Amino acid sequence: MAELLSVSGLSAGYGRAVVLSDIAFRLQEGEALAVLGRNGVGKTTLIDSIVGVTQRFGGSLSLAGREIAAMAPEGRAAAGIGWVPQERNIFRSLTVEENITAVARPGSWTLDRIYGLFPRLKERRGQSGGSLSGGEQQMLAIGRALALNPRLLLLDEPTEGLAPIIIEELLRALRKLFREEKMAGIVVEQHARKVLPITDRAIVLDRGRIVFEASSAALLADGAPLERHLGVTGG
């Protein structure tokens, strides 16, 4: 499979504070990567750095062979980065459908297909974004990112703060995306148990560095390395 994303020597942070140092990893087309780690180790910073909303101190980022490290967020979105931010940040004053169509780019992910993935959004299409529940907002945030027809989908703690039944629904949708649609993605998650079954590979961050890397299947079979690095039994 062809290489989609290549990160090397990446140092980044906010303002003058360096959060990530010397990050390097690769992602293949159609591959789903879990980014694990405790609170405050730089998982969100990694996602934000790929989106382009952090301060970059060094290193390179290339998407499908194209260097994107110097690009503004607008350019990276056009190059194929689809972002589902941790706070969801949906446009509250726009309707559900407008949230999707306001940013839509041509491609295979049409409004109908997005509604197909999240039927609840179709039911709520005319409602304002601000009136949605947390889970619906998360679905909308994912739908909105898909509307960009991205090559790479970045999800930052997609299950945080949601009811278990909603989490189930979300994970089913993500599994479908990654497994059936072969969408390439990076999922930041504190709880490894939720995300390992839907991803191909996992990296563990600690204090701004990658400290461990393995296939998701292997980690599911043997949780010991996770316990070592995360101090938990896989959450």
Min dist. Cβ of residue 142 to another protein (A): 13
Phi/psi at 87 (5° precision): -85, 5
What residues contact 169, with CB distance under 8 A and at least 6 apart? 135
**Residue whose CB is less far from another protein, 36 or 63:** 63
Min dist. Cβ of residue 66 to another protein (A): 16
**Residue whose CB is less far from another protein, 183 or 192:** 183
- In 3-state terms, what secondary structure has residue 13? strand
Min dist. Cβ of residue 4 to another protein (A): 19
- Burial of 80 (C-beta count, 10 Å sphere; 0-12/13-18/19+): buried
Min dist. Cβ of residue 183 to another protein (A): 17
**Residue whose CB is less far from another protein, 43 or 88:** 88
Whether the Cβ atoms of residue 103 and residue 148 lie closer than 8 Å to each other? yes
What CA–CA distance (Å, rounded) separates 21 from 40? Answer: 14
- Residue in 59, 61, 42 with CA at minimum distance from that of residue 51: 61
**Residue whose CB is less far from another protein, 50 or 202:** 50
Whether the Cβ atoms of residue 29 and residue 184 lie closer than 8 Å to each other? yes
**Residue whose CB is less far from another protein, 85 or 192:** 85
**Residue whose CB is less far from another protein, 103 or 171:** 103
**Residue whose CB is less far from another protein, 28 or 86:** 86
Min dist. Cβ of residue 130 to another protein (A): 10
What residues contact 110, with CB distance under 8 A and at least 6 apart? none
Min dist. Cβ of residue 227 to another protein (A): 35
Min dist. Cβ of residue 190 to another protein (A): 23
Interface ranges with another protein (CB under 8 A) = 51-53, 72-74, 76-78, 83, 85, 89, 91-94, 98-99, 101-105, 144-145, 148
Q: What per-residue string of b and e applies to 95-112 under the rule 16 or more CB within 10 Å gives b? A: bbbebbeeebeeeebebe
- Residue in 158, 216, 151, 225 with CA at minimum distance from that of residue 183: 151
- Burial of 113 (C-beta count, 10 Å sphere; 0-12/13-18/19+): middle
